[in-house]
Amino acid sequence: MPSNEPPDADSPAPNASVLREGPEPTEKLAPVPFWLIILAAAVIFWAGIQMALNSGGFRADVYNPSLVSWSGGGGGGPAAPPDPLVLGKRLYNQNCVVCHQSSGMGVAGQFPPLVASEWVVGGDWVGDNHLVKILLAGMQGPVQVKGANYNNAMPPWSQLKDEQIASILTYIRSEWGNSAATITPDYVKTIRTASADRKDPWSQKELKAIPAESISTGGATPAAAPAAPAPAAPPAA
């Protein structure tokens, strides 16, 4: 209870600055400035427009690496087709490198090499059609590569598109010092259609019974031209 006694004469008088102090501050909700509301609404509106223009409809397939290319022109023209060597290398590293290695040398005694392989660049009785058939249906059983024997299985890759198979084959036929003709998607499509009923992996024996074809000639590999006959000897005098 407050005391009614007069203040002690010995107590000091209150300081003037203390007397000028206002009441203790209290917690209140200050209103948000109107200009700040307008600015926030403008930023949200601008962000929504940018998202609508650049989100691709939030589709999962909006980014397709096989379609990324640079044609050197403006953005309004049609995109150039992807480089088959770039696409082929990427697909090779995703699907083939475990067995055939990044060097193309394979694994001794298990997986055959691709470097200078007759199965890759052609040679002996092997044609480009055999190589495409192997990619589409796979291969199993004993096989000879560069004079060495292997006996393993290669899975089919028919789930890949014609363009993807063509890119892989073009890559391995031009990498590690290999030099062979480009395999085109149309050629892969032709072989795929012709062997559409093939469900089992090929064997070397089966492939050897199929005449070799070369993509560069569009058909069977031509036989070597016969040597020109020697000129007739002049009659004796």
Domain that holds residue 152: 84-217
Whether 159 maps to a domain, the answer reads yes
Question: For the chain, what is the domain count?
Answer: 1
Whether 120 maps to a domain, the answer reads yes
CATH number of domain containing 193: 1.10.760.10
Q: How far apart are CA 221 and CA 122, in angstroms?
A: 10
Whether 232 maps to a domain, the answer reads no
Whether 164 maps to a domain, the answer reads yes
Whether 162 maps to a domain, the answer reads yes
Instruction: Please give the pLDDT value at position 154.
Output: 94
List, for residues 80-111, the tens digit of each pLDDT value: 677 889 999 999 999 999 999 999 999 999 99
Pairing mode, strands 213-214 and 219-220: antiparallel
Whether 156 maps to a domain, the answer reads yes
Whether 149 maps to a domain, the answer reads yes
Mean pLDDT of 40-53: 83
Whether 145 maps to a domain, the answer reads yes
Two tokens, residue 188: 């892969």
> What average pLDDT is seen over the chain?
80
Q: Per mean pLDDT, which range of 31-35, 58-62, 110-114, 151-155 is the poorest?
A: 58-62
Assess whether pLDDT exceeds 50 at residue 119: yes
